[in-house]
Amino acid sequence: MFLEIITPDKKVFSGEVKLVQLPGSKGAFEVLTNHAPIISTLSKGTIKVVDQNDQTSFYEVNEGVVETKANKIIVLAESA
């Protein structure tokens, strides 16, 4: 699945991933391959990303929005 984390200033992350954990405004949630389409708001917190090589990365974000559709995840964050 493909993930992009974008802020108004720059593209923070772009690449293939196995798992993404997000700080949803109603609680944290994970997205795995073939997840149902979803649009959600994000609150201030940490995005956990596990890439294809099982390397884990963390990104601190302020509020934002995430859209997941057809194994593509786009995170639009105010800052990261």
CATH number at residue 12: 2.60.15.10
Other C-beta atoms within 10 Å of 8: how many? 8
Once rounded to an integer, what is the mean pLDDT over residues 13-28? 96
Q: How many domains does one find in the chain?
A: 1
Residue 75 backbone dihedrals phi, psi, to 5 degrees:
-110, 120
Write the pLDDT tens digit of every residue in 31-79: 999 999 999 999 999 999 999 999 999 999 999 999 999 999 999 999 8
Q: Terminal CA-to-CA distance of the chain, rounded, Å?
A: 21
Quote the domain boundaries for residue 34: 2-77
pTM for the structure as a whole: 0.92
